[in-house]
Structure 1
Amino acid sequence: MRDPITDELILEGGALVLADNGICCIDEFDKMDENDRTAIHEVMEQQTISISKAGITTTLNARTSILAAANPLFGRYNTKISPNENINLPAALLSRFDILFLILDKPDLENDIKLAEHVAFVHMFNKHPTNEFETIDEQTMRQYISIARQYKPVITKEVNDYVVSIYIKLRQDSKKNETSKKFFSHTSPRTLLGILRMSQALARIRFSNIVEINDIDEALRLINIAKNSLYDDNNEIEETSQEKIFTIIKEFISNEMQSTKSKIVSMKRLHEICIMKNFTESEINECIEKYQLLNIWQVIDNGENLTLIDVGGIDEDDELFDTNISFDDNDDDEEDKRNTSQQDVDMS
């Protein structure tokens, strides 16, 4: 901007620069424009802001913690899709936050009554109601924070070894869960730095210069709670009909490959199995056609059999094939033999 007196170009610090050594609270984080989003990457990674425009080149300190609130895509959280699809923010930016909490507005009778009574009281008397508990006054809280900031906690050799082992375990768990619908973000070195920062903050709360194992455990607990909030019991992603049918067919093929060593199965038998699971013929055909286009399998012999043509995503040794499917057949042994015999004829 230009100085109103000298008409020279000058720098004026924004919110992040003014919040140096403090906390910057940002609302409507998802509506940030592209320029600000690019700048905040550097702030959260390097704690500085680099300026190079209008002949001015400098670096400003922005050693601030960021507390941000964002709305889901389209203004409403869709429980049918994953958190990544709901959050309209790049993964590189989300990974810079130590903790992410999902807060949903779920109907709750007790909380709704309290909220309505509070709003009505403030509207009627133009003041907040008296709290049922004793609060800490601002002056005491400021003094407490000021004293806590004087401590510079460090980790001991024992804590260092413990953190390393925990990080390795988190990395291994992250690798196993990459294909899961509950997978949200990778465990990266930033995760490790976040654990250390939170454990140091917990040590400061205790007025201690030493980070203890309990501090590490509490930091991990907070991270786990944050992850669990993304997928609680009432926020499970439901599989589509095609996905459920694919799982049934996949498990049936797995069983056949283990018993007959063949990747060819009877279409008639597949339809019978899926119909027993309350799926319609149209849903079954749509699923088979969809994954045929994805080169997972192919219908052969004039539609009588199905064979795998690409086992890259479906491997015998893969953990997806470890689960055996059970069918609620009430047929006797002779009927089973006739079905098996008929299947052998179809496969030949």
Structure 2
Amino acid sequence: MDEMSISKRGVTMAGTPYRMMNSEMNYTLMDSSINHSSILDSSSRLDNRERRIQKVNENIISEYELGRQSVVFTQQKYKQLLDGFLLFVQTNKYIHNKITELRDEALEEYNRMLNKNIPNIIIHQRLICNINNFQTGNEQFELLARCLIKEPYLALPAYQAAIKELWKSQQDSKIDIECPKIGLCGWLGRHHVTPRGLQSSMLNKLVAVEGVVNKCSTVQPKLVQSVYIGEVVHDINADIRSEEKTVHLRPHYDITDFDKTAKDSGRPPVSDPEGKIMHKHEIGLCKYKNHQKFVIQETPEDAPTGQMPRWVEVIVEDDLCDIVKCGDRVRVWGVYRASCGQANSSNSGLGRSFLIANNVLVKNKETYDTNLFISEADKKNFHAFAKKNNTIDILGYSFAPSICGQDIVKKGIILMLAGGTERALPSHHIRGDIHIMLVGDPSCGKSQLLRYVMSIMPGTVSATGRGSSGVGLTAAIVTDQDTGERVVEGGAMVMGDRRVVCIDEFDKMQATDRVAIHEVMEQQTVTVAKAGIHTTLNARCTVLAAANPLYGCWNDALDMGQQLQFEPSLLSRFDLIFLVRDSATEQDDERIADSVLRNVTEKAKPVINECRNNQKNYVIQADSYDINPKAQHISVYNERDVNKNTGGDSAQESEEFETPIFANRDEMIYYDKNGIEHEILTVPFFKKYLHYVKNVFYHEKQRTDGWKPYPEVSDEACEVITELYADLREKAAKYSHNKIIQGVTPRTLEAIIRLSSSHAKLKLNRYVTSVDVNYAKKLLMYTLFGEEIVEDVEEEEEEEDE
């Protein structure tokens, strides 16, 4: 039994190896087939890998070849541009004369500083060239102009190299003076825009941007080249000690360098591999240059209604630093570039854009509106209109004709728009701007009068009492995001320098915020002394404010002080404070209703706001400065000829063009309180006349006939002004303190002079006469004591021509 089991077990055991042998044979056969297929797969994978590697190598080689060809093509193009610019500067007489002039100025400055024993003289000069200089009919030169606009990173270095060659040929070999840098100006067509017009298609191209400086940083030193000295470490065991020192120069490049792409700004290793040389940074031998940033913001008149104003950050260096300040209206030529991969500290495709300035121009106060073309025919009409007996009455009828009534208020605003006489002496400054405040019942047209001023006066800045603060109107201290330093940012009044600032809902402003504008209204400056910054900004603006009484409507039973929550110090700064009342008679109600219904039903043409009818056009039109090929670098616009606006119609370019004087009766007429119809002036004639009497006429007379640039106060007017001031003081003394809206102070005397001078301007008179003072008297008697103005025909004035 056991043997059988053993035998069976043996058979079983004996059979097991047999089956295992068979399985091993099968496995061997399978492994051999698998190995054969794996060998085929691995060989195919190797072939695919080799093909991919070969393809990658071919792509790398092709890319390298394309890059090499691109570099060769760029070098060839740069050489062609350099030859073209060399030919241009050698044949252009203006460039030759300007370089000679700059060289003589540099030599004079060099000798002057040398006599004072001042070493290391550095003279920064800039040669301003109008891009229209290339428009000579030569196709090669015109191609250079296009390259300057489309490829400034190539054309500007080539142009600078050509100027350097010409500078060296004319310079004395004994004196090495740095070559002046190139500054471009002129009209750039579609590339002459506001900050809102900057687009990605303009990157790396030459652009010109106009706006107002909103924020300006301080001038800081920028590292250009680092110097490292390699000193030998003394070894005690060494037999020979070498005292030789090595010098390593490391240039630093950034977005402002057009001809540099590789940024080799890293420092050398601290020591060499053997540890025998130690590199030390020599700060005193490094090279630096001035560096500054400021922000150009879209002007209020160019910003579309309901949208935030756009802005662009400008980088200036060397001689362009410290030219502008907050509130200046500037025009900047430069290259629009982007710094990608640095947005929000991440490697993304988004980035900040900068304008690398090549030339900066600050506009002067005479640049009121470059689109106002005044022909000789217009000037004749202006003089004929000024000689009329009812000039002020017609201007009053033409101001906001859709608002019936408020004739006295309108005439006061017209005097405000014409302005008085500013006297800036070394010892003191007397403002010439007239401030007006409208106080009265709601729904009387106060806000509409402010809106009409904004529509006809370019550059008007608007604000509201509820949404404005003291620092928002004057200036604020903000922190720069790049440097972390604190800088001054101008407010509404600083940005409205030499313009009108309209403040609606003036009573809704906090008392602490109203105190901030006291200095602006009288001294016309904003002084900032906080956070370690002490500076003074100009805010020479005219303030037109509108407010409501404390209890909503004006109540004659209450005193003035109970209905006005303004400080006496603030009220004294306003030249005129008009009390605007709602009509209380049936006759006035019928007249207002009839006037409104007639203008709506019979004269159904809507009034177009000409200042904002082209909001989508952000291209700045050319003026005479842009077209003049011999335009030179100046810090301000001096006596710019605004009569040659190439952006206007061809008819306006003719001296015979005549602006229509009176509007069509089918469009708009005005009804006075007696129900009599009056023709009104057209809006273009109205705007041009105000611009002419304020900014053009007296300057022309100063050049041609020797007049002063403002109406002179005659001896007769001085006597009348003295008598008027004494009468007002005597009459005010008879009133209780709370019975008159503002007191009669020495500021009232200055207001009399300003109002009289403004009236003389509107009549184009050389001298302020007693007639002008009497008109100012009527306005002051109405605003101070509520005496109605008797409507009489103005006395005809004889114009004195000397």
Length-normalised TM-score, structure 2: 0.27
Q: Name the counterpart of 2:728.
A: 170
Q: Name the counterpart of 1:192.
A: 749
Q: Which amino acid aligns with 1:147?
A: V
Q: Name the counterpart of 2:667.
A: 130
Q: Which amino acid aligns with 2:696?
A: I
Q: Does 1:52 align with 2:529?
A: yes
Q: Name the counterpart of 1:208.
A: 765
Q: Name the counterpart of 1:80.
A: 557
Aligned partners of 2:694 and 2:761 also within 8 Å: no
Q: Does 1:154 align with 2:712?
A: yes
Q: Name the counterpart of 2:402.
A: none
- CA apart distance, 1:149: 6.5
Q: Secondary structure at the match of 1:44?
A: helix
Aligned partners of 2:549 and 2:563 also within 8 Å: yes
Length-normalised TM-score, structure 1: 0.58
Aligned partners of 2:599 and 2:668 also within 8 Å: no
Q: Which amino acid aligns with 1:137?
A: V
Q: Which amino acid aligns with 1:46?
A: Q
Deviation per residue, 1:179-225 (Å, 9 max, x gap):
7x743332210111100111111122222332111111111111112
Aligned partners of 1:101 and 1:230 also within 8 Å: no
- CA apart distance, 1:96: 1.0
Aligned partners of 1:49 and 1:60 also within 8 Å: yes
Aligned partners of 2:560 and 2:740 also within 8 Å: no
- CA apart distance, 1:42: 0.9
Aligned partners of 2:605 and 2:667 also within 8 Å: no
Unmatched 5+ stretches in structure 2: 1-477, 609-665, 670-678, 700-708, 790-802
Q: Does 1:17 align with 2:494?
A: yes
Counterpart-to-counterpart distance in 2, 1:149 and 1:6: 47
- In the TM superposition, 1:313-332 aligns within 5 A as none
Q: 1:8 to 1:118 in 2, by over 3 A?
A: farther
Q: Percent identity?
A: 34
Of 530, 536, 542 in structure 2, the residue corresponding to residue 65 of structure 1 is: 542
Q: Name the counterpart of 1:30.
A: 507
Q: 1:53 to 1:231 in 2, by over 3 A?
A: farther
- CA apart distance, 1:41: 0.9
Aligned partners of 1:42 and 1:48 also within 8 Å: yes
- CA apart distance, 1:228: 4.6
Q: Secondary structure at the match of 2:576?
A: coil
Q: Secondary structure at the match of 1:178?
A: coil
- In the TM superposition, 1:216-255 aligns within 5 A as 216-229=773-786
Of 673, 688, 701 in structure 2, the residue corresponding to residue 140 of structure 1 is: 688
Q: Does 1:111 align with 2:592?
A: yes
Which region of structure 1 is more displaced relative to structure 2, 11-20 or 112-121?
112-121
Q: Secondary structure at the match of 1:24?
A: strand
Q: Which amino acid aligns with 2:784?
A: K
Q: Secondary structure at the match of 1:58?
A: strand
Q: Does 1:8 align with 2:485?
A: yes
Q: 1:158 to 1:99 in 2, by over 3 A?
A: same
Counterpart-to-counterpart distance in 2, 1:2 and 1:117: 56
Q: Which structure dedicates a bigger proportion of its chain to helix?
A: 1
Q: Which amino acid aligns with 1:146?
A: N
Q: 1:149 to 1:223 in 2, by over 3 A?
A: farther
Aligned partners of 1:182 and 1:231 also within 8 Å: no
Aligned partners of 1:102 and 1:230 also within 8 Å: no
Counterpart-to-counterpart distance in 2, 1:222 and 1:33: 30
RMSD: 3.0
Which region of structure 1 is more displaced relative to structure 2, 72-81 or 188-197?
72-81
Q: Which amino acid aligns with 1:110?
A: R
Counterpart-to-counterpart distance in 1, 2:605 and 2:777: 44
- CA apart distance, 1:115: 3.8
Computing the radius of gyration from Cα coordinates, the structure with the larger value is 2
Q: 1:78 to 1:116 in 2, by over 3 A?
A: farther
Q: Which structure dedicates a bigger proportion of its chain to strand?
A: 2
Q: 1:231 to 1:218 in 2, by over 3 A?
A: closer
Q: 1:114 to 1:48 in 2, by over 3 A?
A: same
Q: 1:229 to 1:157 in 2, by over 3 A?
A: closer
Aligned partners of 2:781 and 2:787 also within 8 Å: no
- In the TM superposition, 1:274-293 aligns within 5 A as none
- CA apart distance, 1:17: 1.1
- CA apart distance, 1:52: 1.1
- CA apart distance, 1:230: 8.4
Counterpart-to-counterpart distance in 2, 1:85 and 1:231: 24
Counterpart-to-counterpart distance in 2, 1:157 and 1:135: 34
